[in-house]
Structure 1
Amino acid sequence: MTSRYSRDAGPNFNNGIKNVALVGTTGQLGKVFVEHILKTGKHNLTAITRAGSNTNVPEGAKVAAVDYNDESSLVAALTGQDFLVITLALTAPPDTHSKLVRAAAKAGVPYIMPNAYGIDFYGKPTLLEDIPALQSILSNVKEVEEVGAQWIGLTPSFWFEYSLGVGPFTYGFDFPNKSVTFFDDGKTKVNTTTWPQRVPDDESDQSVTLAQFVNKPVYISSFRLNQREMLNSVNAFMKKTDDDWKISYQPAGKRSKEGWEELAKGDGRGFLKGMYSRVFQSPSDGVYETHNDLLGLPKEDLAQAVQDAHNWSVSQRASDN
């Protein structure tokens, strides 16, 4: 008979996540996962890397080089892992996610966090209808169930630092040219999350377990903002006013259509332009209730987040030159 409580399960029972495997350790999101997983001191972290790559991972993480065309190498790297976190770039081969999920199931990994970070396509079916790419992302999630494993989805909406600083095709801000495009009137709110937003490193949230979120999304958010509020915060940080910006307005629906047309012509930024402006259409599909309180997530400082986004933007431009 299965023990109902962990205290009755015997000395060899593991009631926590000890071994974590992570794919995409050097990406913008993967680096944050690595930093905070190692910081807890509670987990053994294995970085799954492609054989022959020159991936450098922080001290404290084990490296497992794999051949994605050889399932046995994936299974070997994932055997003994309690949790697999997948963070893949948009440029990754389309079958990579499926190969990881199927190998993890054969290796007996009980929990998988799929590569499905972003907007709430679980609770907003119209987004699935309007953004076809989300159908394939949802298929990635459902495949975890199909192979007999369990998924935990992380839904942060748009990542704040990237979205504010990467260019005008996301939140509409073009820092080098001091211009911003408001979608409609710029007052439609969406949830947005910073990369470091996480559970505090203590034991105060003892009631929270992975079992509460099996095959469900976990909703987190740092702020619920509109573009007007973003610009106010940017102005406060940069000691600027609206007069220092070229401010324009564009209907969100028209902008979204433009994005899809640009994508069809081969401009990958068109996907971001179409998706972001679609979510900003009023009434907003970018607003949801979060699990922040349940997880004990800290309240963040918008001014600090804007500074971090600005610094990230500057460093990205420097690395591109």
Structure 2
Amino acid sequence: MSGKIVNVALAGATGNLGPAVLEQLVAAGFQVTVLTRSGGTAHSFPASVRVSQVDYNSLDSLVAALRGQDAVVSTLPPSPFTTQEVLVEAASRAGVKRFIPSEFGSNTVVPKTAALPAYAEKTAVQKALREKAAGDGGMTYTLVLNGPFLDWGIKVGFVLGLKDRHVKLYDGGERVFSTTTLATVGKAVAAVLSKPDETRNRPVYVQDTAITLKKLYEMGKKATPGEVWTEEVVDTDKLVAEAWEVLDFDKDPSQTDYVMKFIAAAIWGDGYGAHFDKTNNELLGIKELTDDEVQAIVNRYA
């Protein structure tokens, strides 16, 4: 692609991942514009950051905000009130060169993963981006795939139940999966935009470590000496079947009844590509964590 990426618009700067991405974009020297929802809660950002209020459901509002931007990074969570597809269309019309959608998790490039309803919005956005990249507008894209967030997942008990001293061992907990901290995901995003040609129209894979739940469990016990833990073995095939049953029989299902079951299966089940055999760490300047460094993260939340 022609031209260096300088101006970057960030959608979703105040969620779980957004602040880490914003910090790394600023540190890397990009001129960042944060998109905030019109009428939403006011937030504080670094002095160098420009803030632009938008209506995420208005194409005109988004196009106006994105004019002059070289790239758009979306860390927006799935929401019935926000569609990334509108953001993709607006970016294309505004002449944006690169779009990084809100992937940042499971390996949705693998067909078995992409087929899960929990990832329907992500796969729809991927389709829209491929169409834009194949057209005459010149917009390109990068999918950043990093597995579950290691530090956040331990903090909230999704990856390891430190608070409750309880561990879920999916399919016995022996399957290796890739996982990455929020800060490293932010570094990967900044690196992608610094290497636009090498990361054009493709997924990039990044991990801080590839580990098993059983190994994390041992680290959890090491961080809590003398305390009693409980174990729960979860069958991921059964988990997927239960999630599908909710969708088949409940006309208005709660996302908590099925989404997290699909996501857990995609991380710790078989055939979902959750262990990245090859990564792009070297390209992106990411160094994997040592076991001692992973242990330190576990200790932090014990």
Shorter-normalised TM-score: what interval? 0.7 to 0.9
Deviation at 1:307, TM superposition (A): 4.7
Partner of 1:159: 149
Deviations 1:178-217 (A, max 9, x none): 221211221011111111116879xxx9xx7211221100
Instruction: Tell me the distance in 1 between the aligned counterparts of 2:170 and 2:106.
Output: 17
Paired amino acid for 2:142:
I
**Matching residue of 1:34:** 22
Which residue of structure 1 aligns with residue 283 of structure 2?
294
Instruction: Give the Cα separation in 1 of the matches to 2:62 and 2:266.
Output: 37
* 1:231 correspondence with 2:217: yes
What is the CA RMSD across the aligned residues, in angstroms? 2.7
Aligned counterpart for 2:125 among listed residues 126, 133, 140: 140
Output the CA distance in 2 between the equivalents of 1:309 and 1:139: 35
More relative contact order in 1 or in 2 (CA 8 Å, sep 6+)?
2
Whole-angstrom distance in 2 between the partners of 1:250 and 1:66:
43
Structure 1, unpaired ranges of 5+: 1-5, 7-13, 315-321
Give 2:71's aligned residue.
83
Could you tell me whether the CA contact under 8 Å between 2:66 and 2:94 is conserved in 1? yes
Deviations 1:112-133 (A, max 9, x none): 00122211121x212223x123
Q: Is the 8 A contact 2:6 2:31 kept in 1?
A: yes
Rg comparison, structure with higher value: 1
Say which is worse superposed, 112-121 or 302-311, in terms of deviation.
Answer: 302-311
Query: Taking structure 1 as reference, are residues 28 and 302 closer, same or farther at Cα in structure 2, changes over 3 Å only?
Result: farther
The correspondence of residues 109-188 of structure 1 with structure 2, limited to 5 A, is: 109-122=96-109, 124-129=110-115, 131-147=116-132, 148=137, 149-167=139-157, 170-171=158-159, 173-188=160-175
Instruction: Determine whether 1:255 maps to 2:239.
Output: yes
SS of corresponding position for 1:127: helix
Q: Which shifted more, 275-284 or 14-23?
A: 275-284
Question: SS of the residue aligned with 2:182?
Answer: coil
- The answer on whether the counterparts of 2:171 and 2:233 sit within 8 Å (CA) in structure 1 is yes
What is the SS of the residue equivalent to 2:169? strand
Q: C-alpha deviations, 1:290-316, integer Å up to 9, x for none? A: 0012222123244444554675x68xx
State the Cα distance separating 1:16 from its structure 2 match: 2.1
The secondary structure found in structure 1 opposite 2:258 is: helix
- Unaligned stretches of 5+ residues in structure 2: none
Give identity over the alignment, percent. 25
Say how many residue pairs are matched: 287
Question: Deviation per CA, 1:221-242, whole angstroms, max 9, x where unpaired?
Answer: 011111101111222233356x
- TM-score of the two chains, using structure 1 as the length reference: 0.80
Cα gap change, 1:259/1:70 in structure 2, threshold over 3 Å: closer, same or farther?
closer
Contact 1:188 1:284 in 2 (8 A): no
Q: Tell me the SS of whatever aligns to 1:268.
A: helix
Q: Specify the alignment match of 1:9 in structure 2.
A: none
1:57-96 superposed matches below 5 A = 57-59=44-46, 60-91=48-79, 93-94=81-82, 96=83
Which one is further off, 189-198 or 136-145? 136-145
Q: State whether residues 22 and 186 of structure 2, in contact with CA within 8 Å, keep that contact through their aligned partners in structure 1.
A: no
Rate the CA distance shift 1:227–1:210 in 2: closer, same or farther, 3 A.
Answer: same
